[in-house]
Amino acid sequence: MKTIFEKDKGVSGICLCDENENLDFFDGIYKRKSPLGLPNVSELEALRHYKELSDRNFCIEKGFYPLGSCTMKYNPKVNELLASLEGFSDLHPLSSDEDCQGALELMYKLQEALKEITGMDAITLQPAAGAQGELTGMMVIKKYFEVKGEKRTKVIIPDSAHGTNPASAHLCGFEIVPVKSNDKGQVDIEALKSLVNHDVAAIMMTNPNTLGIFEENVLEISQIMHENGSLLYYDGANFNAIMGYTNPKLMGFDVVHLNLHKTFATPHGGGGPGAGPVGVVDALKDFLPSPVVDFDGQKYFRNCNIKHSIGQVKAFYGNFSVLVKAYAYILMMGQNLKEASENAVLNANYLKEKLKEAYLLPYDEPCMHEFVLSGEKQKHENGVSTLHIAKALMDENTHPPTVYFPLIVHEAIMIEPTESETKEVMDDFVKVMLKIADEAKSNPEKVISSPHSTPVKKIDETLAARHPNLKFVQ
């Protein structure tokens, strides 16, 4: 073999070829016809450029992330180290069961741990995200009724639900039936009763719900649905609030998905990867995606013998690196998973009490791991909207909370501190939020024109959303 490096006519290239190969052929087919257009800078200058760009990114190591709706907490670095072990990171996805016993053992034991944590009887690790977990769960429910010979066409979903809930059910062909919340921010039982009939396949719920409030009538809801022959689906996005205290099985749920990449501390943000395992009660285990990881007492194997399987939902077997990190987190925490929930709930209630005088609190109930304020008072009195408040937080080294969700709260500000944060961090956040509330009165133009210190200042988000410029400009 011969390495050829050419730098003529303004063209650079590297080619590995046999010495007897016809180089004219390579020149004619592979050689660039125009300059590459790379900047003429040193390696050090290039490194400094990309380091400066990276410093502009906000990350959990840089500041507070009070995002609500889906737990996104600190990811212990040891999890990353374990996931990068050679035996895991270099494992080929087409390896036979005999050649990947360690990986299969880890997945099997993670399934067993998740069964104990959720109370469910069987688990699949295949789904690659929470939304895909939802879709998988709804596919299981649809197949279950098909096998039973029942034509059920509707799914009930609370008006405060995550947007992926109706999307997942609709993708499976179900008609979405919303059920309203009562004055305590919980499912209105009488409204639910009026919606239940033989067409209803299931209800999809999050508990605690999207307002951060525990559904105190969940057992009555479970009874209503089961007496109708319907199933209950548990959205596990808010599972961080209840670990070790209760579980979906005790509440009467039949299907659950978990966001491993959130509740069990894998990557924070960044777009992934994710993992959304699905757990089911015994009556639904024969409908799970194929294969599931099993153990015959001597070896671990991928079991494809699932009687009514909905089929495979993810190439190979899920996002394995996320599974490694989640299993490491569970082993590291052990019984302290319960303490994590305790601290998450404590932190959220602490912030709620500190902020409810400055901002409107639509539902003044004891919250779980998150709560929802409203910027309606600031908007009505001084024209400072929730979006303005969120942008002002960016000037204070704080990531904005989730805003304008759930939709049933006008000018919603959803805050979830997680258990990872100290009292000092939360006190600083309180000071910043109170400062912004004061400035909304004394100097509203300053808040409205925020942010002032970020690389990108105020943008027209409506224009960007409705008329995106997708044209690539060289």
The per-residue DSSP string of 380-405 comes to HHHS--HHHHHHHHHTTTB---EES-
pLDDT at 37 (0 to 100): 83
DSSP string, 269-330: STT------EEE-GGGGGGS-S-EEEE-SS-EEEE---TT-----SSTTS-HHHHHHHHHHH
Closest CA to 351 of 407, 432, 405: 432
pLDDT at 464 (0 to 100): 82
pLDDT at 26 (0 to 100): 59
Q: Is the pLDDT of residue 21 over 60?
A: no
Q: Is the pLDDT of residue 13 over 50?
A: no
Domain extents for the chain?
2-56, 77-333, 339-465
**b (16+ CB within 10 A) / e for 222-245:** bebbeebebbbbbbbbbbbbbbee
Closest CA to 255 of 228, 227, 225, 212: 225
| Main-chain dihedrals φ then ψ at residue 440, nearest 5 degrees | -60, -25
pLDDT at 38 (0 to 100): 83
* Mean pLDDT score, 375-397: 96
Q: Cα separation of 65 and 376, whole Å?
A: 22
The residues facing 374 across adjacent strands are 360, 412
Question: pLDDT digits over 269-320, tens only?
Answer: 556 789 999 999 999 999 999 999 999 999 999 999 999 999 999 988 889 9
Q: Is the pLDDT of residue 452 over 60?
A: yes
pLDDT at 5 (0 to 100): 45
- Run of H or E including 372: strand 371-374
Q: Residue written as tokens 């087919």?
A: 29
pLDDT at 12 (0 to 100): 46
Q: How confident is the model at residue 365 (pLDDT cuts 50, 70, 90)?
A: very high
- The upper half-sphere exposure of residue 159, i.e. CA atoms within 13 Å in the direction of its Cβ, equals 14
Closest CA to 112 of 365, 255, 293, 318: 293
Closest CA to 307 of 281, 278, 285: 285
Q: How confident is the model at residue 74 (pLDDT cuts 50, 70, 90)?
A: confident
Question: pLDDT digits over 229-266, tens only?
Answer: 999 999 999 999 999 999 999 999 999 999 998 899 77
Return all residues near 79 (Cβ < 8 A) that are at least 6 apart: 265, 266, 324, 325, 328, 329
Question: pLDDT digits over 44-73, tens only?
Answer: 999 999 999 988 888 888 889 898 877 888
* Residues 436/438/443/446 CA torsion (nearest 10 deg): 0
* Residue 40, Cβ density class (10 Å: 0-12 exposed, 13-18 middle, ≥19 buried): exposed
Token pair of 113, please?
């741990």
pTM of the model: 0.88
Q: Cα separation of 97 and 38, whole Å?
A: 46
Q: How confident is the model at residue 17 (pLDDT cuts 50, 70, 90)?
A: low
Return all residues near 143 (Cβ < 8 A) that are at least 6 apart: 287, 308, 310
Instruction: Label the pairing between strands 154-158 and 200-205.
Output: parallel
- Average per-residue pLDDT for the chain: 91
Return all residues near 27 (Cβ < 8 A) that are at least 6 apart: none
Q: Do 88 and 323 form a contact (C-beta atoms < 8 A)? A: no
Token pair of 204, please?
């999809």
Q: Is the pLDDT of residue 172 over 90?
A: yes
Q: Is the pLDDT of residue 268 over 70?
A: no
Q: Which residue has the higher pLDDT, 274 or 349?
A: 349
pLDDT at 4 (0 to 100): 46
Q: Do 325 and 82 form a contact (C-beta atoms < 8 A)? A: yes
Return all residues near 427 (Cβ < 8 A) that are at least 6 apart: none
Phi-psi sector, 133: left (phi>0), alpha (psi -120 to 50), beta: alpha
In the chain, pLDDT over 70 holds for what percent of residues? Answer: 92
Question: pLDDT digits over 111-165, tens only?
Answer: 999 999 999 999 999 999 999 999 999 999 999 999 999 999 999 999 999 889 9
Q: Cα separation of 25 and 40, whole Å?
A: 29
Q: Is the pLDDT of residue 8 over 50?
A: no
Among 37-41, 416-420, 431-435, where is mean pLDDT lowest? 37-41
Rounded alpha-carbon distances, angstroms, from residue 356 to 47, 209, 217, 438, 472: 46, 19, 26, 14, 46
Helix, coil or strand: residue 108: helix
DSSP string, 56-105: HS--TTTSB--B-SS------HHHHHHHT-HHHHT--TT--GGG-HHHHH
Quote the DSSP letter at residue 31. Answer: S
Please report how the helices 101-118 and 320-333 are oriented relative to each other, as an axis angle in degrees rounded to 10. Answer: 60
- Run of H or E including 426: helix 423-442
pLDDT at 23 (0 to 100): 56
Q: Do 426 and 417 form a contact (C-beta atoms < 8 A)? A: yes
Give the right CATH number for 339-465 from 3.40.640.10, 3.40.50.1400, 1.10.10.60, 3.90.1150.10: 3.90.1150.10
Q: Cα separation of 49 and 45, whole Å?
A: 6
- Assigned CATH topology for domain 77-333: Aspartate Aminotransferase; domain 2 (3.40.640)
Q: Which residue has the higher pLDDT, 467 or 239?
A: 239
Q: Is the pLDDT of residue 440 over 70?
A: yes
Q: Is the pLDDT of residue 412 over 80?
A: yes
Q: Is the pLDDT of residue 433 over 50?
A: yes
Q: Which residue has the higher pLDDT, 234 or 468?
A: 234
